[in-house]
Amino acid sequence: MRIVLALALFASAAMAQDKPQQAAPAANKPVSSFSVRDTDKNGVVSHPERQQFRKEKFAANDTDKDGKLSKDELGAAWGQVFKRVDVSADGFVEVDEYVGYFCGEAANVEQSTAAKSVPVKQHDANGDGNITQEECVAYRALVFKDVTLKDGKAGEKEFVSAHVRVIFEAMDKNGDGFISEEEFTLVPNPATGEPEAKKAEVKEPAKKAEQAPKSK
> pLDDT tens digits, residue range 100-140?
999 986 556 555 544 444 444 456 666 677 888 888 888 88
Across the chain, the runs of DSSP E, i.e. the strands, are 44-45, 68-69, 92-93, 131-132, 154-155, 179-180
Read off the DSSP letter of residue 123.
S
Total structural domains within the chain: 1
**Which pLDDT does position 107 carry in this prediction?**
56
Residues 165, 173: Cα–Cα separation, whole Å: 13
Domain of residue 64, residue span: 2-185
Whether 114 maps to a domain, the answer reads: yes
Q: Is 182 helix (H, G, I), strand (E, B) or coil?
A: helix
Whether 178 maps to a domain, the answer reads: yes
Whether 9 maps to a domain, the answer reads: yes
Whether 117 maps to a domain, the answer reads: yes
Whether 59 maps to a domain, the answer reads: yes
Residues 79, 75: Cα–Cα separation, whole Å: 6
pTM of the model: 0.68
pLDDT band at 215 (very low <50, low <70, confident <90, very high): low
CB under 8 Å to 152, separation ≥6 — which residues?
94, 95
**Which pLDDT does position 32 carry in this prediction?**
87
Whether 29 maps to a domain, the answer reads: yes
Residues 92, 73: Cα–Cα separation, whole Å: 22
Residues 64, 96: Cα–Cα separation, whole Å: 34
Whether 94 maps to a domain, the answer reads: yes
Whether 197 maps to a domain, the answer reads: no
Rg over CA atoms, the chain: 22
**Which pLDDT does position 108 carry in this prediction?**
60
Question: Angle at the Cα of 120 (from 123 to 198), degrees rounded to 5?
Answer: 40
Per-residue pLDDT tens over the stretch 41-68: 998 999 899 889 999 999 999 999 999 9
Summarize the confidence of residues 21-47 as an average pLDDT: 74
Mean pLDDT, the chain, whole residue set: 74
Please state, for a pLDDT cut of 90, what percent of the chain lies above it.
Answer: 38
Asked if pLDDT for residue 209 goes beyond 80, the answer is no
Per-residue pLDDT tens over the stretch 167-202: 999 899 899 999 999 999 876 554 444 444 443 333
Q: How is the chain split among helix, strand and coil, in percent rounded to 5?
A: 45, 5, 50
